[in-house]
Amino acid sequence: MTTTTATRKASAKSGVKSGAKAHDQACVTLKEHIVEIISDSGEGAQRCGQSLGSIAARMGNGVWTTEIIPAEIRPPARSVAGASGNRIRIGSDYVTNGGDETDLVVAFNEQVLLGRVNARELKPGCIILLENMWRTHSDPNIVKSYGEVYDRLLKADYKVYEIPMEEECLKFTTNARRGKNMFVLGILCHIYNFDLQAGREQIALTFGKKEQSVIDANVVLLEAGYRWAKANIGFSFHIPATPTGKKQISINGNTSLALGVMASGMDICAMYPITPATSASHYLSEAFEKVGGIVHQAEDEIAACAFAIGASYAGKCALTITSGPGYSLKQEGLGLAVMAEIPLVVVNVQRGGPSTGQPTKIEQGDMLTAIFGSHGDAPKVVMAPSTIEDCFYAVITARRIAETFNTVVVILSDASLSSSQQPFDRPQFQESWLAPPIDQSPVPEGARPYDWDPVTGIAQRFIPGQPGGMHTVTGLAHDRDSHVAYDPDINQEGLRARSLKLAALQKTLLPPEVFGGKEGDLLVIGWGSTKGAIEEAVAALRAEGKKVSSTHLRFLQPMQPGIKEIMRRFKKVMTIETNWSDQPGDELIDADSRRYSALATLLRARYLVDVDCWTEVRGQPVKPRTIRQVLLAKLEK
Amino acid sequence: MKLSATKQLLELYKEQLALEDYQSGVPRWCTGCGDNAILTAVQRLCRDEGLRPEKTVFVSGIGCSSRFPHYMKTYGFHGIHGRAFPVAEGIKMSRPDLTVFVNTGDGDCCSIGAAHWIHALRYNMNMTVFLHDNQIYGLTKKQASPTSPIGTRSNTTPRGSYLEALNPLTVSLGVSNVSFIAQAVDWIPETLFEIVRAAYHHTGFSFVRIIQRCPEWLPKALDPWLQDPARVQLVHHANGVQISPNLARVYKNQVEHDPLDIHRAREIASNTELIPVGILYRNPEVPCYEDTRHSGALRTVEMIRKSFEAEVDKYSV
């Protein structure tokens, strides 16, 4: 961030009530900024933030938006835990993650703001635009608490600007609660020097389904906010854009997954509502069904899994979408699909666990359960998209793998990908993405339903409707004719075949790419949504001359080839994950007792390499700054 | 041998399938087990109706009864305990052209799979369900099931079971969208077959509870009804099951009941002293979930492409 005299002047305004006419219209050029808009639930901060992100993307800026979601639908108004909103990282270049702390926050009340302060989410000296209606509220308790928080913020050296949002909005609408968000959007368009016309277009798109009068009313508020800011706010920022020149779309990870489902040619999605996975199904229910796809909301998670298995068994590969607790419930069904060799795609949008855990928060806690879950040996393919774009292509790949190898493919997304939004190159539809029509041709004489290939373990499945292919699939141990096996050798053969399929897939995978130098002092290995933050930290350290590199695994089972060779070229190897690992500093934790993180456990066991790990489970996306500190410490150790 | 489509149809028309064409393997049920009677009735149905073996799927869960698909020379899905219904629903949704049957037991359906059973009734998908109810867990060797009469001595209830038996008929008749409920007993093969056939011909979720003997674990449990035909109540109607003169001579306890009358059906079903045999409820007007959900649109590549592009357009920046 570039600091100029003008920003320092703006800083000096700290605490000055904004009613005063702005006198300093200096514009500061920045490389990036993180903006946050927070309110009580239902006041529209989410929509304001998403719109701001889309406008920035239209301007050609790099963008990463992160939802700030309270756990309850309607938490009490003005509560510390009730912050609802959006956090937008706007950059000159492509932005790969949510970044560090916030530079500028707009708060509709002081209590939700307090929640963010307590969570240490604001940068020191952060600019705060605070709704000031509470200062003159009829309830003396509110007036008192507003005053206290305001003073506390000033004392903490935040640059606080009180904004008469309610008062200004009431000039244009009778219900300021419904329109404040667009007023704020106007203010932000001014502050960031965004084209007001782009704002108008975004409103037209956002409210596209509503009547013209709704769009017009919102545009009036947008313009009012812009005008007010121009007249009253004495600073503004310019974040030069570097447009890619390519057509882009901006969506969150769940929409990306859902678009992937459409593009993969799958026909049926069976699900049960669970946070944070459900929005993918919401989107599918709307869009997928227009093209004859079906979203079945089952009576429970087990039924959703069994329904998808039945649909897959009789036709094209189907999918089920869930999150941790639902994934646990599906385990027996997944074992059945593995045993009967029925293709199935399972999406697990991970959240904090165990048990109900943190439904709206970020964690990568389900890797080992995805790989080893279900009783007995149930080999499944486990993929981990690491970007929002990846979420889209992962589903298409997963469908193909599931049908090629007749097995279960688990896609591990997480609450960070599901609730973040990022522009990426518009996918170019390809017919080859679609599932082929199901085989209904007669089965050749003598062909057997589980004619396992001795090398790859793959057998061609017979689909109901194929004459001559009649057989009963079973979760019991079975022979090549799908007859229940009573012979000990047959069980041995079946387990071998199902395991070999993973090896066969493994032989088709490419080694992971290394970010940074091919060799050095420290290699960081990650998986899933942490990719952008890890690479940002690695790039920063490399710029300082540190010999740090990273690699990110997209397949967790089977693992890509060449991982051991990559690790060998570095003096130290560690993983960065958002799941649990014991802290070496704890009194009882030593080499004998330490529980490593999921990926570190796996890498240590598979490659006999002393892989260390650093993890945190704060339910937040891990910040590049935090990773940087961890890596520096590891380098020095 | 390659044939033209027309030729293939003509070949199909010529083909007459016999009972053996539906039989697979030798059932491993105990001698005298009621499952054998059900298998015979169902194989006869398949032959009489000329069901294409490759277009027919029998789905089951776990338990003695759930071995059923292995003995049919059709497609079969022997799944996991309690989950036969959702598997069958997935099959039917994916492939409405297939004829789907479900074989489930009193443990599979009324205990571990009870949630799915309630919802399967409500979905009303077009499939035929046989609840093989022998009032005991057989495969795990004699534990009380939800339909075991109170006082049933079993390995988990050595001093007699503690709870009143669950009545699958009244439960089913209480669920919205219920469309076909019937009851049969394994020892009257003639009505068993008539009911199985009526169930097959009903469009919707046809639920047939079949009270069957378990000679191994509860050999005498049904003796009072076997020995006293008056305790079996034949439910008949012009729109239901008709009673043959032979049957009428043995089973004199008969009641005429219109299967459209759900209140009366509930009344008949509630009588636990008697075993009603016949069609208790049938309503062909209840919509099937798969029909409601399928738009009828053909999923062509062009259609998917167009819709995909339209969606992506919405998110263009």
Cβ of B301 within 8 Å of Cβ of A434? The answer is: yes
Taking the C-alpha atoms of residue B8 and residue A270, their distance in angstroms, rounded to an integer, is 36
pLDDT given for residue A14 in this prediction:
40
Cis peptide before A584 (omega within 30 of 0): no
Say what the pLDDT of residue B6 is.
Answer: 74
The residue in chain A having the minimum alpha-carbon distance to the alpha carbon of residue B12 is A467
Please tell me if residue B16 touches chain A, with a CB cutoff of 8 Å. Answer: no
Q: How many other CB atoms are there within 10 angstroms of residue A211's CB atom?
A: 9
For domain A5-238, the CATH superfamily is Pyruvate-ferredoxin oxidoreductase, PFOR, domain III (3.40.920.10)
Q: Is there a contact between A255 and B315 if contact means CB atoms under 8 Å apart?
A: yes
Which tokens in the block code for residue A309?
């298995």
Please report the pLDDT score of residue A229 as a whole number: 97
Q: Using the beta-carbon criterion (under 8 Å), do A303 and B115 form an inter-chain contact? A: yes
- Closest B-chain CA to A472: B76
For residue A482, the distance in angstroms to the closest alpha carbon of chain B comes to 9
From the list B70, B79, B94, which residue is nearest A475 (CB)? B79
**Residue A54 to residue B317, Cβ atoms within 8 A:** yes
Cβ contacts (< 8 Å) between A268 and chain B: which residues? 90, 93-94
Minimum mean pLDDT range among A201-210, A461-470, B195-204, B217-226? A201-210
Of B76, B95, B311, the CB nearest to A472: B76
CATH superfamily entry for domain B23-288: Thiamin diphosphate (ThDP)-binding fold, Pyr/PP domains (3.40.50.970)
Cis peptide before A354 (omega within 30 of 0): yes
pLDDT at residue A17, as a whole number: 42
Using a CB-CB cut-off of 8 Å, the residues of chain A touching B75 are 464, 469-472
Of A140, A206, A221, the residue nearest A176 (C-alpha): A221
Q: Which site among B39, B85, B311, B314 would you substitute to test the A interface, given the most A Cβ atoms closer than 10 Å to its Cβ?
A: B311
How sure is the predictor about B297, in pLDDT bands with cuts at 50, 70 and 90? confident
Distance to chain A for B100, nearest Cα, Å: 11
| Whether residue B202 has pLDDT greater than 60 | yes
Nearest chain A residue to B303 by CA distance is A291
Name chain A contacts of B72, Cβ cutoff 8 Å.
472
| Among B residues 44-63, those touching chain A with beta carbons less than 8 Å apart | 53-55, 57-59
Say yes or no: do domains A250-433 and A514-636 share a fold. Answer: yes
Classify domain A514-636 by CATH number. Answer: 3.40.50.920
Indicate the domain borders of chain A: 5-238, 250-433, 442-508, 514-636
The mean pLDDT of chain B is: 95
Task: Give me the pLDDT at residue A281, please.
Answer: 95
State the pLDDT at residue A4. 38
List the single residue in B80, B95, B299 with the smallest CB-CB distance to A291: B299
Q: Which residue in A262, A464, A475 is closest to B57 by CB distance? A: A464
B294, B308, B317 member nearest A58 (Cβ): B317
In whole angstroms, what is the distance from residue A452 CA to residue A323 CA? 33
- Per-residue model confidence (pLDDT) at position A19: 41
For residue A450, what pLDDT is reported? Answer: 97
Inter-chain CB proximity A299 and B115 less than 8 Å: yes
Q: Are A474 and B70 an interchain contact pair (Cβ–Cβ within 8 Å)?
A: yes
Select the residue from A294, A374, A392, A472 to test the B interface by mutation, using most B Cβ atoms within 10 A: A472
pLDDT digits (tens, 9 = 90+) for B89-138: 999 999 999 999 999 999 999 999 999 999 999 999 999 999 999 999 99
What residues form DSSP beta bridges with A86? A37, A67
**Three-class secondary structure assignment of A114-162:** HHHHHCCCEEEEEEEEEECHHHHCCCHHHHHHHHHHHHHHHHCCCEEEE
Which residues on chain A are in Cβ contact (under 8 Å) with B309?
429
Min Cα distance B109 → chain A (Å) is 13
Low-confidence ranges of chain A (pLDDT < 50): 1-23
DSSP line for A340-381: HT--EEEEEEE-B-STT-BTTS-----HHHHHH-SSS----E
Q: Given an 8 Å threshold on Cβ–Cβ distance, is A293 in contact with B305? A: no
Residue-level pLDDT at A176: 83
Q: Measure in Å the smallest separation between the Cα of A574 and chain B Cα atoms.
A: 38
Under CATH, which number does the domain A250-433 receive?
3.40.50.970
Q: What's the token pair of residue B240?
A: 């239901």
Q: Which of A470, A298, A476 is nearest to B87 (CA)?
A: A298
Amino acid (one-letter) located at A147: G
